[in-house]
Chains A and B, each alone.
Chain A
Amino acid sequence: MSSPAIAVEGLAAGYGATAVLEDVTFTAMGGQSICVLGPNGGGKTTLFRALLGELEPLAGRVAVSGRPAYMAQTERTRLDFPVTALDVAVMGTLADGRWWLPARRLDRDAALAALERVGLAEHAGVRFGELSGGQRQRALLARALVQDAQVLLLDEPLSGVDPASATLIAGVFDELREDGRTLLVASHDVESARSFDSVLCLNRRQVGFGAPAATLDRATLQATYGHELIVLEGGAGAVTVQHHEHGHHD
Chain B
Amino acid sequence: MEAIDFVLDPLRSGIDRRALVELALVGSLCGALGFWVLTERLAYGAESLSHGLLPGLVLAALAGAPLLLGAAGGALVAAALIAFAARDTRMGPDAGTAVAVTGLVGLGALLALAPDSPQRLEELLFGDPLGVTGGDLVAAAVLALCGGGALAALHRPLAALAFDPAGAAAAGLRPARLRAALLVLLAAAVAVAVQGLGALLVLAVLVAPPVAVRGHARTPARAMLGGGAVAVAAAVVGMEVSFHAHSAAGASVALALCAAAALGALLRPWRRAARRGARPRPLRREPTSQGL
Which residues of A come within 8 Å of B, CB atoms? 20, 39-46, 80, 244
Contacts and interface: CB of A to CB of B under 8 A. Distances in A.
Interface string B279-292: 00000000001111
A44 B289 CA distance: 15
A40 B292 CA distance: 6
Interface string B82-96: 000000011010000
Contact of A244 (B90, B291, B292): B291
A80 B291 CA distance: 24
B292 A80 contact: no
A40 B290 contact: yes
Nearest to B92: A80
Nearest to A42: B291
A18 to B, nearest CB: 12
B290 A80 contact: no
Interface of B: 89-90, 92, 289-292
B292 A41 contact: yes
Contacts of B92: 80
Nearest to B90: A80
B120 to A, nearest CB: 42
B90 A40 contact: no
A39 B292 contact: no
- Which label, helix, strand, loop or mixed, suits the secondary structure of the A interface? loop
Contacts of B290: 40
Contacts, number: 18
A45 B89 contact: no
A28 to B, nearest CB: 21
B126 to A, nearest CB: 38
A46 B292 contact: yes
B191 to A, nearest CB: 35
Contacts of B90: 80
B291 A41 contact: yes
B291 A20 contact: no
- Which of B89, B92, B289, B291 has the most chain A CB atoms closer than 10 A to its own CB? B291
18 contacts: A20-B292, A39-B291, A40-B290, A40-B291, A40-B292, A41-B289, A41-B291, A41-B292, A42-B291, A43-B292, A44-B292, A45-B291, A45-B292, A46-B292, A80-B89, A80-B90, A80-B92, A244-B291
Contacts of B289: 41
A42 to B, nearest CB: 7
Given A41-B289, A43-B292, A80-B92, 11 more contacts: A20-B292, A39-B291, A40-B291, A40-B292, A42-B291, A44-B292, A45-B292, A46-B292, A80-B89, A80-B90, A244-B291
Contacts of A244: 291
B284 to A, nearest CB: 19
A20 B290 CA distance: 14
A42 B292 CA distance: 7
B39 to A, nearest CB: 25
- Which of B90, B290, B292 has the most chain A CB atoms closer than 10 A to its own CB? B292
A43 B291 CA distance: 8
Contacts of A44: 292
A46 B92 CA distance: 31
Nearest to A79: B89
Nearest to B291: A40
A66 B113 CA distance: 64
Contacts of A20: 292
B269 to A, nearest CB: 20
Contacts of A39: 291
A41 B92 CA distance: 31
Contacts of B292: 20, 40-41, 43-46
Contacts of A41: 289, 291-292
A40 B291 CA distance: 4
A40 B92 CA distance: 30
A240 to B, nearest CB: 18
Closest 9 CB pairs of A and B: A40-B291, A41-B291, A45-B292, A46-B292, A41-B292, A80-B89, A80-B90, A20-B292, A244-B291
A172 B90 CA distance: 34
